[in-house]
């Protein structure tokens, strides 16, 4: 990154730390794990936004990426990443690849990332972008994220980057005992909560609400459970 981008990134990281501190009464986190902050430092966010919006790539707010989708606010990306408690040997499923930014952050922290995007064009673009940038421990598919990715289940963590009206049972089924699911729940343009679900060793689900959020809706249906509905491997 150039000098200006480095300055912008430093400001962004400071803003994230300030917002984490300001929301500690909701999240229970006065600071995020330093590994997570370092991953944000290493991933060039400007590579994941449209060319015409690159001047705002390091502002702490979401940006449109086309097809009615957005790249999430960096604070939210950092918080959701921290909430799954990423470990080096983890295998993580992401629902909602978008531009690939969240997957790139995860790839810096875990062994393997599988990411599903329902918009075929975005899936193809993100897969090519991630390969070009050297993220070879990420696999992207176009498909219905509500169905998960059963071939590689169970997962140490599942992270959903779009709001569901209810939590898809398939994702809970694909979560490993001891694993964590982070998902925004609620209708578009209405109250949404960022939820954390942890599966205990005996399979029981413990759920907690973290804070109010605003995400684009999770599309697709639960009815089609055919894994062949996923396509476009990159």
Chain-centre distance for alpha carbon 21: 21
Instruction: Return the closest-CA partner of residue 40 out of 62, 22, 13.
Output: 13
Spatial contact of 27 and 20, defined as CB atoms under 8 Å apart: yes
CA distance 163 to 149: 18
72 flagged as catalytic = yes
Question: 201 exposed, middle or buried (CB, 10 Å; 0-12, 13-18, 19+)?
Answer: exposed
Measured in degrees and rounded to the nearest 5, phi and psi for residue 96 equal: 105, 75
Q: Which of 5, 72, 99, 169 is catalytic?
A: 72
CA distance 66 to 98: 9
Q: How many CA atoms lie within 13 A of 57 on its CB side?
A: 23
Active site positions, annotated: 72
């Amino acid at each position: 990154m150039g000098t200006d981008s480095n300055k912008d990134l430093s400001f962004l990281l400071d803003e994230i730390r300030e917002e984490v501190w300001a929301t500690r009464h909701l999240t229970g986190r006065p600071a995020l794990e330093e590994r997570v902050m370092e991953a944000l430092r290493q991933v060039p966010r400007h590579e994941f936004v449209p060319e015409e919006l690159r001047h705002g790539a390091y502002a702490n707010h979401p940006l449109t990426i086309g097809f009615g989708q957005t790249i999430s606010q960096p604070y939210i990306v950092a918080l959701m990443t921290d909430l799954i408690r990423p470990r080096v040997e983890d295998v993580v499923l992401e629902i909602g690849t978008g531009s690939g930014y969240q997957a790139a952050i995860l790839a810096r922290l875990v062994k393997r990332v599988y990411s599903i995007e329902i918009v075929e064009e975005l899936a193809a673009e993100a897969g090519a972008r991630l390969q070009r940038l050297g993220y070879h421990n990420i696999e992207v598919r176009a498909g219905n994220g509500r169905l998960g990715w059963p071939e590689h289940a169970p997962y140490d963590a599942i992270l959903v980057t779009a709001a569901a009206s209810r939590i898809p049972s398939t994702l809970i089924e694909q979560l490993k005992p001891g694993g964590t699911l982070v998902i925004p729940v609620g209708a578009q343009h209405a109250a949404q909560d960022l939820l954390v679900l942890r599966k205990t060793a005996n399979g029981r689900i413990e759920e907690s609400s973290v804070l109010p959020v605003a995400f684009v809706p999770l599309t697709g249906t639960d009815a089609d459970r055919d894994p062949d509905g996923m396509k476009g491997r990159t």
